[in-house]
Amino acid sequence: MNTPLEIPSRRPFDMDTVRRDFPILARPLPNGAALAYLDNGATAQKPQAVIDKVREVYETCNANVHRGIHQLGDRVTVELEAAREKVRRFINAEDSAEIIFTSGTTMSINLVAQAWGRKFLKPGDEILLNEMEHHANLVPWQQTAKATGAKLRYLPLTTDGQLDATHFDRLITSRTKLVAVTGMSNVLGTTNPIRELAARAHQVGAVILVDGAQSVPHLPTDVRDPQIDFLAFSGHKLFGPTGIGVLYGRRQFLEAMDPFLCGGNMINEVHLESSTWGELPSKFEAGTIPIAEAIGLGAAIDYVQSLGFDAIHTQETKLLARAMRLLPQTPGVTIYGPSLERRGSIVSFTVEKVHPHDLADLLDQKGVAIRAGHHCTMPLHDWLDVPATARASFAFYNTEAEVDALIEAIHYARHKFRLE
Ligand code: 7TS
């Protein structure tokens, strides 16, 4: 195993090597087509290093953690805490006790909505959201608003799908207690002005929660610059295992919150009528957490850091630029969202007279995997005034040839619909 705190050394970005790191990319699909995996916004593929790490845990040190009873338990605990330290370093948190392992972004946000929101929000307080948020960053706040009497407010969007900064003054006020915002829209790709929102939230004494599900895998994140109070993200979109995610919370907030789930591991003392809570991070990690998955997430972070966000950004921008140039030149195609400079590597679009689900089916025949539907953003689709969109979302292992395969497959779909 790696020595726990080894910092991965940077290696040159070589596409052939990178693609070989992801065994699934070379496997023909059941219909024999070559895979062009353009659904990274839903989940990313896993490099061999992550697959090996999870397997290694089960083969060599599987045991429960933090029991301190035997050698295997000790060893796996060291590995788990090393993974937590990797997460800490990756997002530049001050203390690894501020890194809570959860099952993913959804659970992380629910944890804050319940354990922070229900304790600290009261009637008249405002939660500031916007229409581009994923349901995971809307519905928990709706429930918390109902339970506490707090009010939901929505920042309007500009016509190209950015937060409209001309409304910040009007909507971020002394009544605002929380700004909950995505780092990157999972549909429009919009990257949001977190620095400005964090500064404004803090000016009025509000807390900012960033949904990093889409941004953390593609952009460098530093929770201390700008200062972010809560950050949620998922391991599986970060080239790590499913079932593991992270909630980062600033210590002062996590300390003030009561536990979200109760059971083993999160207590200090239990009596028949009452209990006291354990220290961070255990207080928020009731029960047995996904241990091998958390350690696998550590391996995924090592992998991403060995490539570096500069190389990742360069490759993804190349792909996005090509898609945003070629898609609008394709007959019947409309793309949604801001210009290249204001978005990450996601592009959603519709093809006139072809339902996105039919389009996704036809693209799949050609091996091009995209997502179709409302992408868990029904309010955004109401705002866009379309019931569904098709979405291509890129990762650094995608190639320009795969963008071309997408375009070719759209022509194929239009041909099938007798549109060309
Ligand atoms: N927030 C955003 C911005 C997301 O894109 C997603 C998942 C979530 C939260 C929830 O993440 P989870 O890991 O807890 O499920 N988005 C998508 C998607 O766009 N397609 O499939 C899942």
DSSP per-residue string spanning 207-266:
EEEEE-TTTTTTS---TBTTB-SEEEEESGGGTS-TT-EEEEE-HHHHHHSPPSS-SSSS
pLDDT in tens, 278-308: 999 999 999 999 999 999 999 999 999 999 9
Atom of ligand 1 nearest to the CA of 108: 14
Q: Mean pLDDT, to the nearest integer, of 367-372?
A: 98
Pocket test for ligand 1, best of 38, 103, 106 (most atoms within 8 A of CB): 106
**Tokens 């229409």 sit on residue:** 131
Instruction: Give the mean pLDDT of the chain.
Output: 97
CA distance 385 to 345: 23
Q: Mean pLDDT, to the nearest integer, of 213-234?
A: 98
Q: Mean pLDDT, to the nearest integer, of 36-42?
A: 98
Please say if the pLDDT value at position 6 is more than 90: no
Give the pLDDT confidence score for residue 66 in this predicted structure. 84
Question: What backbone phi and psi angles, to 5 degrees, belong to 406?
Answer: -60, -50
Please say if the pLDDT value at position 4 is more than 60: no
Give the pLDDT confidence score for residue 5 in this predicted structure. 64
Pocket test for ligand 1, best of 111, 218, 234, 374 (most atoms within 8 A of CB): 234
Give the pLDDT confidence score for residue 65 in this predicted structure. 94
Q: Whose CA is nearest to atom 5 of ligand 1?
A: 186
How much distance in Å is there from the Cα of 237 to the middle of ligand 1? 8
Pocket test for ligand 1, best of 40, 134, 139, 181 (most atoms within 8 A of CB): 134
Q: Mean pLDDT, to the nearest integer, of 50-74?
A: 94
**Which residues are known to be catalytic?**
376
Please say if the pLDDT value at position 2 is more than 90: no
| Domain at 15-40+308-416, CATH class | alpha beta
CA distance 191 to 301: 21
pLDDT in tens, 300-350: 999 999 999 999 999 999 999 999 999 999 999 999 999 999 999 999 999
How much distance in Å is there from the Cα of 234 to the middle of ligand 1? 8
Q: Mean pLDDT, to the nearest integer, of 156-168?
A: 98
Answer yes or no: same fold for 15-40+308-416 and 54-305: no
Stretch among 1-5, 13-17, 30-34, 63-67 having the lowest mean pLDDT: 1-5
- Percent pLDDT > 70 in the chain is 99
How much distance in Å is there from the Cα of 135 to the middle of ligand 1? 8
For residue 310, the tally of other CB atoms under 10 A from its CB is: 11
CA distance 414 to 420: 6
pTM metric for this prediction:
0.97
Would you kindly state where each structural domain of the chain is located, as residue ranges?
A: 15-40+308-416, 54-305
Res. 359 pLDDT band, cuts 50 70 90: very high
- As a CATH number, domain 54-305 is 3.40.640.10
> Is 371 near ligand 1, meaning CB less than 6 Å away?
yes
